[in-house]
Amino acid sequence: MANLTWKGVYPALLTPFKQDDSIDFEVYNKNLQAQIAAGVDGIILGGSLGEASSLSNEEKRDLLFYSKENIPSDFPVIINIAEQTTKAAIALAQDSEKNGADGLMLLPPMRYYADSHETLEYFKAVAKSTSLPIMIYNNPVDYKIHVTLDMFESMMPHQNIQAVKESTRDISNITRMINRFGDRFNILCGVDTLAMESLCMGAHGWVAGLVDAFPRETVAIYRLVKAGQIEAALPIYRWFLPVLELDIHPKLVQYIKLAATHTGIGSSHVRAPRLPIEGAELKRVTSIIETALANRPILPDYLNLKHTKDAKWA
């Protein structure tokens, strides 16, 4: 099993499709290899950007098997758990562990607006069912369930609950987590447009979206910040921000797939009920992407930075 530290950049990978709606493993591998070459620290399969809601469990297994066959043996693969029932979540967690996953990203129950007690019992039941390390996805904006600090306090005895994907949109929540729990939970930013700010406030990693189209720029920002080279990271982040804002739109899947197509490591096909964007919307998003490509920054040698003591790769 890979050594999963919950530090660094973790792409929420896209699932590319062919015109016949089947998974395009050739395009998937092209993107996967670009991520590894750029220096990401692991991958997440079957997230929102992976169109999890339209994938069967068999397809998720196929993606896991395929990924494991095409990556270094010590490279972490994390499976997203976004299920409607506790029983289904446990089954997927156990299936993922059996099939070689290295960790889990765990969302609250889907479709049912669980209260705090129900959400906690759901998280704890999944944690008890597997030995895999778990990252809780805290996204009250999109999923309407806020995982509070008191709830994290209740999860502390479960040692395999190790991290949080912080998507509350409240930068201060990073400081609150650190003040209360120290290093008990690793914190990974889950909102592209708050990534550099989150890293500067002590986040350990970045669960990224636009990394699917711009892997090198994403990893460069992360490593520069963690090396204390804020002034070098800032112009890259400022250049990146108009593109990163594609991550916080309901059509983020279509938008990021379009961006990955423009950078040559993706395709734009989506599964219904999602539909390709067109008309004025397509023109607007294409303009954002093309403007970024026309002004793409020259990156420093970010893979060989002088490391800080707490950097993951030190």
- Share of residues in the chain with pLDDT > 90 (%): 93
Tokens of 129: 């069912």
At residue 3, the pLDDT reads 85
What's the first-to-final CA gap in the chain, in angstroms? 21
pLDDT in tens, 199-256: 999 999 999 999 999 999 999 999 999 999 999 999 999 999 999 999 999 999 999 9
Domain ranges of the chain: 8-304
Q: CA geometry: angle at 256 spanning 250 and 257, to 5°?
A: 115
| Residue pLDDT, tens place only, 262-299 | 999 999 999 999 999 999 999 999 999 999 999 999 99
Please compute the mean of the pLDDT values over residues 26-46 and round it to a whole number: 98
pLDDT band at 311 (very low <50, low <70, confident <90, very high): very low
DSSP assignment string, the chain: -----S-EEEEB----B-TTSSB-HHHHHHHHHHHHHHT---EEESSTTTTGGG--HHHHHHHHHHHHHTS-TT--EEEEE--SSHHHHHHHHHHHHHTT--EEEEPPPSSS---HHHHHHHHHHHHHH--S-EEEEE-HHHHS----HHHHHHHTT-TTEEEEEE-SS-THHHHHHHHHHTTSSEEEE--GGGHHHHHHTT--EEEESGGGT-HHHHHHHHHHHHTT-HHHHHHHHHHHHHHHGGGGSTTHHHHHHHHHHHTTS------TTS----HHHHHHHHHHHHHHHHTPPPP--GGGPPPPTT-TT-
- Residue whose entry in the numeric block shows the structure tokens 């009920």: 273
- The C-alpha atoms of residue 208 and residue 11 are separated, in whole angstroms, by 5
**In the prediction, which pLDDT does 111 show?**
84
Q: Is residue 87 over pLDDT 60? A: yes
* Widest Cα–Cα separation across the chain: 52
pLDDT for residue 148: 97
Mean pLDDT for the stretch of residues 106-111: 93
Which region among 7-11, 127-131, 244-248, 302-306 has the lowest average model confidence (pLDDT)?
302-306
Q: pLDDT tier at 308 (50, 70, 90 boundaries)?
A: low
Q: What is the pLDDT of residue 224?
A: 98
Average pLDDT over residues 123-137: 98
Question: Which whole number is the average pLDDT over 36-57?
Answer: 95
Residue 56: Cβ within 10 Å count: 8
Residue 109 pLDDT > 50, yes or no? Answer: yes
Side by side, which strands form the sheet with 8-11? Answer: 8-11, 205-208, 186-189, 161-166, 134-138, 103-106, 77-81, 43-45
pLDDT value at residue 140? 92
Residue 26 pLDDT > 90: yes
pLDDT value at 307 more than 80: no
The CATH architecture one would assign to domain 8-304 is Alpha-Beta Barrel (3.20)
Residue (of 22, 72, 15, 73) closest to 44 by Cα position: 15
Q: What is the pLDDT of residue 313?
A: 39
Are 10 and 208 in contact, with CB atoms under 8 Å apart?
yes
The whole-number pLDDT of residue 314 equals: 35
Tokens of 42: 């692991």
Residue pLDDT, tens place only, 151-183 = 999 999 999 999 999 999 999 999 999 999 999
pLDDT band of 2, cuts 50, 70, 90: confident
Half-sphere exposure of residue 111: CA atoms within 13 angstroms, side-chain side: 6
